[in-house]
Structure 1
Amino acid sequence: MSGLMRDKVVLVTGAARGQGREHAVRMAGEGADVIAIDLCATLPGVAYRSSAPTELQETVTLAEKKGRRVVPVVADVRDLAGLRAEVDRAVETLGRLDAVVAGAGICIPRAWDEVTEEIFRDTMDINVRGTWNTVMATAPHLVAAGGGSIVLMSSSAGLKVQPFMIPYTTSKFAVRGMAKAFAAELARFGIRVNSVHPTGVDTEMGSRAMLAQVAKASMADPRLRGMLVNMQPVDGITPEDVTNAVLFLVSDASRHVTAHAMAVDAGVSEF
């Protein structure tokens, strides 16, 4: 490890497992104390297994093995008041906040005419409103610290239309725009804001149950399946692949990078 985040404090949402866990543990390995946030409860409408409190504790254990302090937080990003209170408490414990990785999100594939009002609402509530809430709860602490970095986790679906995922695609384009808009207004405080856009990642969201749901939805128009194929000959990427990009963006190595949409997508957005 290079110590890129030595003595900084990083907050990660969706930290119980998958990409979020990889981000949290890697940040600790690079010298940061970590605030690890997750819902640890049933997610609405998803085909894949929801996270559990034991998984958040495993993230804490793995990060603490790196020799850093970790504050676990069970919170719902849809609840701004509750999230703000928990963030304030955690920041007071660790003394400051330097970087934020907003990774909490869901995906519920459906053909357009099978998307219910509830699916659209839940996707937007978590992926868009939850991301906005995360910035609103954390940005004041970055201002107080004299600057910092925020990474909003979008998707290749926020760069190129992905069929059979209208709510998800809508939400991830919104997150991309949100990052650019926050970057403009927070720049004067020394805060950089960027978005990261992965292709399919080997996590619960990329599980067999999820892939089966995508395949079922694609039966509505099989000719569109090619839009989901990566340019590189890989089915997907690893959480570590995504964390490498996130680490660059939260560290001083990217000190003049802001309002940027970084693709870690095996070329799917260009294919």
Structure 2
Amino acid sequence: MAGRVAGKVALVTGAARGQGRADAVRLAAEGADVVVVDVCGPLPGVDYASATPADLDETVRLVEQQGRRAVAGQADVRDLDALRSVVDGAVGQLGRLDVVVANAGICIPRAWHRITPEIFRDTLDVNVAGAWNTIMVGAPHLVAAGGGSVIVISSAAGLKVQPFMVPYTASKWAVRGMAKAFAAELAQHSIRVNSVHPTGMATGMGSGAMQAALGEAMAENPRPGAMFTNMLPVEITAPEDVAETVLFLASDESRFITAHEIAPDAGVTEY
């Protein structure tokens, strides 16, 4: 089925690469124009390389390659005013907003006793406050459009305990609840809000440096490592796999689905 989101405009945060880029390109391939936002600069405390302006430019190129328009903006999702300025300006150019994908996030795995106050604060600021800011600047445009879909990218760690990442797990449970709370209030405007809960993905965040940090924590306490095992015989998934779920929730195919958790997680949360 082609054109599943034809005529819609979507906002995707953390769009310079990885999951955000995959979401933006998949939505564009099905007919959406896309507002792509990323900080394109140093992320606090992470073990992996941060995205660059060139990465965001590449996302724009890939969206335009699908024959759709892309409006890019650099903003830190922790900065409500900066994010609002970018989104309002982009909506002014594209004419409307129908879909919000709150994707930007960080993960800093550590054994519990090696987590610093800074790691805890930064993770909650980006993953939770950043998601709240994204919805707060996007939802008024969805109200003006007469409805739409908000998609909050959580994690398998937002459905099940995952060890060696206390701040990340706390943040992903928080945004799961946030999605439900927004769904209850935004329903009167025909806006649906759902959360997506992937298993481990092959992205920059899940790169060798982060895996090394996870391995260090696991070496101190190997037993909980089994909690990362997927039920299906796959070690890791691709961001393009999760983008299919995002597309479904952005499309009218899911028009009666709201306040739910959708888990393209290879069964990890049931194992």
Q: TM-score, normalised by structure 2?
A: 0.99
Q: Percent identity?
A: 64
Cα-to-partner distance string for 1:41-70 (whole Å, 9 max, x where unaligned): 010111111000000000000100111111
The separation in 2 between residues aligned to 1:230 and 1:211, in whole angstroms, is: 16
Deviations 1:110-166 (A, max 9, x none): 111100000000000000000000000000000000000000000000000000000
Alignment partner, residue 206 of structure 2? 206
Q: Deviations over 1:63-99 (max 9, x none)?
A: 0011111100100100001111111111001000000
Give the corresponding residue for 2:252: 252
* Corresponding residue of 1:125: 125
**Per-residue deviation, residues 231-255 of structure 1 (Å, max 9, x unmatched):** 1111110111100101000100000
Work out the CA distance in 1 between the residues paired with 2:269 and 2:117.
Answer: 28
Hey, what does 1:268 align to over in structure 2?
A: 268
CA offset digits 1:198-246 (Å, max 9, x no partner): 0000101111111111010112211111011111111110111100101
- In structure 2, the partner of 1:102 is 102
Q: Does 1:23 align with 2:23?
A: yes
Q: Which residue pairs with 1:74 in the alignment?
A: 74
Give the distance between the partners of 1:207 and 1:250, measured in 2 at CA.
28
Q: Residue 196 of structure 2 corresponds to which residue in structure 1?
A: 196
State how 1:110-149 maps to structure 2 within 5 Å.
110-149=110-149
1:151 aligns with 2:151: yes
RMSD between superposed Cα atoms in Å:
0.7
Structure 2 distance, partners of 1:45, 1:220, is: 21
Unmatched 5+ stretches in structure 2: none
SS in 2 for 1:231: coil
What SS does the corresponding residue of 1:162 show, helix, strand or coil?
coil
Instruction: In structure 1, give the amino acid aligned to 2:250.
Output: V
Distance 1:214 1:79 in 2: 29
Task: List structure 1 segments (4+ residues) > 4 angstroms apart after TM superposition.
Answer: none
What displacement does 1:40 show? Answer: 0.1
2:34 alignment counterpart: 34
What is the letter of the counterpart of residue 96 of structure 2? R
